[in-house]
Amino acid sequence: MVSSKGLSGSPPYVAAPVKQYGVTKPISMAGPTEADIQRSRDLEKFLAEAGLYERKEEAAKREEVLCRIQEIVTDWVKQLTRLRGYTDQIVEDANAVIFTFGSYRLGVHGPGSDIDTLCVGPSYVNREEDFFFILHNILAEREEVTELQPVPDAHVPVMKFKFDGIPIDLLYASISHLVVAQDLDISDMSVLCNVDEPTVRSLNGCRVADQILKLVPNIEHFRTTLRCLKFWAKRRGVYSNVTGFLGGVNWALLVARVCQLYPNAVPSMLVSRFFRVYTQWRWPNPVMLCAIEEDELGFSVWDPRKNPRDRTHHMPIITPAYPCMNSSYNVSTSTLRVMMEQFQYGNNICEKIELNKAKWSALFEPYLFFESYKNYLQVDIVAADADDLRAWKGWVESRLRQLTLMIERDTYGKLQCHPYPHEYVDASKPCAHCAFFMGLQRKEGEKIQEGQQFDIRGSVDEFRLSINMYMFWKPGMEIYVSHVRRKQLPAYVFPNGYKHPWNLRLTPCQQSDKLLHDNGVACQTESGAKCLKRKTDSNGENSEESRLEKRQSPTRSESVSPEIISCKLSSTSSGCSTSDLDEMNGLTEGNASYNSSNISSCSREDIGNESTAGSSEVSNGVDDNPASSQSDLCDDSKSSLEDEHADQNRVFQDRLLHELKPNTAIGVVRKSMNGVVDSETVQNPVISRLSLTSTA
């Protein structure tokens, strides 16, 4: 009788079952090649040289600060327990526990970054008076505490301050326990019993961070990849939840999902796959790390079948802890469009890196925001002193997203806004000051009638009225909204304090980046200096002089009334994006009686054809790829990439199509308490299938 081991004496090969992470099977179980491992080493070296890792001394200081905050909140709770007449035993046992979440809990924080902390206290210590009044006063009296700023009316109430120079965001959650155990398991569902919605949101930060670390295949690979992509997002101007882009938890969830799809990949592979997957993701299909759970506690979870508001979300990224929520509800059609362009940029660079035609530094080229548009909105924020400015700026910044939505609503989506999440300071002003900017362009592909104008004065006035509802307004707090053309931009927005000449020769990476915003305009020459094509009028005369006259604009007014545009547009354009007026259902109409804005008229060329400097040749037809307009500078490398990657991409797309079936990956998967999946929901997803073509 022949042994089951076979004639060779070795057992027959049996394929190990593929472990599933998340709601679908992995796309690929392939491990790294030697080249992938070397690229990962190069990436980690680049991140270290970029200063993304803190020194041991700073790490030790953070731990010391957390211990001191723990002592402060424990004494605070004991003091309140004694004042409220509890027994000596309860006073002795009284406690509050400090938890961390966000980048610090995930292990991806860097030098100078803040620590997101949560204080969990007993049921008799409340947020409104005890936390925001008594604890606030205790902190204010300490020398180590500076820049103390309570924000009680935020979606997640928070107290911001610096403790011995370390930025701290402190939340509070009062749970239904008389005594909070030092070893409290915050992931346990019992902590959510008998608490209000703000408390649930406060607790969820820690619960989500813990779940993410449990759901990724390799924590170290996840951390390196997330650290890389957060740095990339900040360099490319798409890191800001409050402005309508993505914040730390959003990026963590996106990276964690890619780690699930490629469980054996190393960081260099995961970065490349990140851009490859999300350039092909068909939003608003949700990104989920696990099934959406329901519980008898009755909190609302993300469900577009039941909740009409959930159907208006453009980029759902669902948190993995109960109650599951959309962490990216702030994303609008405009910010989604910008992020998709940046994903495409990242994908193009990663393809070059894999072909050894580019280095990692190319991926992190800063975004040329002030060279990407011809028209901008400038929002100046001033206050009497630095403390007032900190509070006033926080209020205005949290409402900037509403200005974007108001403009898109009032122009029916034909005028697109690109809010830039960086703030700029004019040091020459005598008062405390900062400014934010928004790029403006007409929607591509929109047929504009001759002489049509965009008058957004009503939108701006409505925005100003909403800003003036600030409950803690003080004299000196002012806001100015003005329209500026590219040549009018103030010098302080440029790194060296002066404007670069527009005919400056750009690197291939910068050229490719700028072409992402080339609104139907393509450069046809090798040099930016030679790229300007002179137009002639009907008599054949050179019209360059007349064009320059059209672009001349009056000096900005220094009055309180903002200069807002009422712009004439030409009749042709090309492009990609769509408007979504459902997003605006909750906004009120503009107040026509409150209209103090001056008008600055733009020429027909000012908005539309928002090409960057050095690009003037109008391309014919519409291309769904936002990066389709390429200069000769990039043509050779692009065609080479297409040839060498055609087969590889086809294999990937076939595999992605096969694995990411709509009724498992995209449908809203729900799980009951006994772990049974709701098969009806899985088989009938409410959201369309994942497409393998790049979204525009």
**Catalytic site residue 300?**
no
- Please state, rounded to an integer, the average pLDDT across all residues of the chain: 76
Residue 473 pLDDT greater than 80, yes or no: yes
Say which of 61, 93, 104, 114 is annotated catalytic.
114
Can you give the C-alpha Rg of the chain in angstroms?
Answer: 27
**Catalytic site residue 543?**
no
- Asked if the peptide bond before residue 316 counts as cis, ω within 30 degrees of 0, the response is no
For residues 166-186, give the mean pLDDT: 95
pLDDT the model gives residue 393: 93
Please give the order of strands across the beta sheet that includes 598-602: 453-455, 563-568, 598-602
- Per the CB < 8 A criterion, the answer to whether 332 and 244 are in contact is yes
267-270, Cβ contacts within 8 angstroms, sequence gap of 24 or more = 267/40, 267/43, 267/44, 267/221, 267/224, 267/225, 267/228, 268/32, 268/36, 268/37, 268/39, 268/40, 268/42, 268/43, 268/353, 269/32, 269/36, 269/40, 270/221, 270/225
For residues 120-124, give the mean pLDDT: 97
**Catalytic site residue 388?**
no
pTM greater than the 0.75 cutoff: no
Say which of 36, 116, 410, 606 is annotated catalytic.
116
Sorting pLDDT into bands at 50, 70 and 90, what band is 151? Answer: confident
Residue 438 pLDDT greater than 50, yes or no: yes
In tens, the pLDDT along 136-146 reads: 999 999 999 99
pLDDT the model gives residue 18: 64
Say which of 169, 210, 410, 461 is annotated catalytic.
169
Say which of 25, 230, 352, 443 is annotated catalytic.
230
Task: Look up residue 434 and give its two tokens.
Answer: 């900062």
**Maximum CA pair distance of the chain?**
100
pLDDT the model gives residue 337: 94
Sorting pLDDT into bands at 50, 70 and 90, what band is 497? Answer: low
Lowest mean pLDDT, pick from 397-401, 433-437, 640-644 = 640-644
% the chain with pLDDT above 90: 61
pLDDT the model gives residue 323: 93
Higher model confidence: residue 106 or residue 155?
106
Q: Which residues have a Cβ under 8 Å from the Cβ of 63 and sit 6 or more positions away? A: none
d(CA 145, CA 165): 8
- The annotated binding site for ATP is made up of 101-103, 114-116, 169, 230, 239, 248-249
In tens, the pLDDT along 269-307 reads: 999 999 999 999 999 999 999 999 887 788 889 999 999
- The annotated binding site is made up of 101-103, 114-116, 169, 230, 239, 248-249
**Catalytic site residue 114?**
yes
% the chain with pLDDT above 70: 68
Lowest mean pLDDT, pick from 11-20, 302-311, 385-394, 594-603 = 594-603
Dihedral sign of CA atoms 305, 155, 222, 234 in order? positive
Say which of 21, 86, 172, 239 is annotated catalytic.
239
Residue 469 pLDDT greater than 70, yes or no: yes
- The annotated binding site for Mg(2+) is made up of 114, 116, 169
Residue 608 pLDDT greater than 60, yes or no: no
Structural domains in the chain, CATH included, are 20-50+216-367 (1.10.1410.10), 55-210 (3.30.460.10), 369-445+454-493 (3.30.70.590)
Say which of 25, 86, 103, 322 is annotated catalytic.
103
Residue 511 pLDDT greater than 90, yes or no: no
